[in-house]
């Protein structure tokens, strides 16, 4: 019995006339419905391609997305730590005058309010970037 390699070698060495004779050989049984299944699969592939459903993501791109998501998360944590460590120095002494104490307290609250507004603005700007890793993970899990 010939091995597959021997059969392939024998077919490759045939001339055009012999190949046509093999193709015209009616002794080879074609499974019933094969043509219909081929047409259905081709139509489904064409439909999927036009619908954009066939999206393959290479392993390198997946790794890049994961690294990007991790680096964005690390940058957000680092920014939070920097803001946390930049606290202003508090008053060095207690106040004898209640009006001075109230003015200092009001100044401190204004400073806190400014920092909260700044942090809220940063969070609002970073929100789309923060949602991106979840979209990436969702796309990875769907595939």
Confidence class of residue 123 from pLDDT cuts 50, 70 and 90?
Answer: confident
- Rounded Cα distance between 69 and 75, Å, is 10
Task: Write down the pLDDT at residue 90.
Answer: 62
Query: What is the pTM (predicted TM-score) of this model?
Result: 0.29
Domain extent listing, the chain: 59-89+111-142
Q: What is the pLDDT of residues 90-121, one digit of tens each?
A: 656 677 888 888 898 899 999 999 999 998 88
Tens of pLDDT along 43-75? Answer: 888 887 776 655 667 888 888 888 988 888 888
Question: Is the confidence at residue 19, as pLDDT, over 90?
Answer: no
DSSP tag of 96: S
Q: Which residues contact 88 (CB under 8 A, 6 or more apart)?
A: 111
């Amino acid at each position: 019995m010939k091995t597959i390699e021997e059969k392939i070698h024998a077919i490759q060495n045939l001339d055009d006339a012999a190949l046509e004779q093999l193709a015209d050989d009616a002794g080879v049984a074609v499974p019933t419905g094969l043509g219909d299944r081929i047409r259905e699969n081709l139509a489904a592939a064409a439909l999927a391609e036009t619908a954009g459903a066939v999206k393959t993501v290479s392993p390198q791109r997946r790794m890049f997305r994961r690294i990007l998501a991790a680096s964005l998360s690390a940058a957000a944590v680092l920014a939070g730590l920097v803001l946390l460590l930049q606290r202003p120095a508090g008053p060095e002494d207690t106040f004898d005058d209640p009006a001075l104490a109230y003015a200092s307290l009001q100044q401190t609250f204004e400073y806190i309010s400014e920092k909260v507004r700044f942090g809220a603005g940063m969070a609002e700007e970073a929100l789309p970037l923060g949602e991106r890793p979840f979209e990436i993970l969702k796309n990875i899990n769907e595939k």
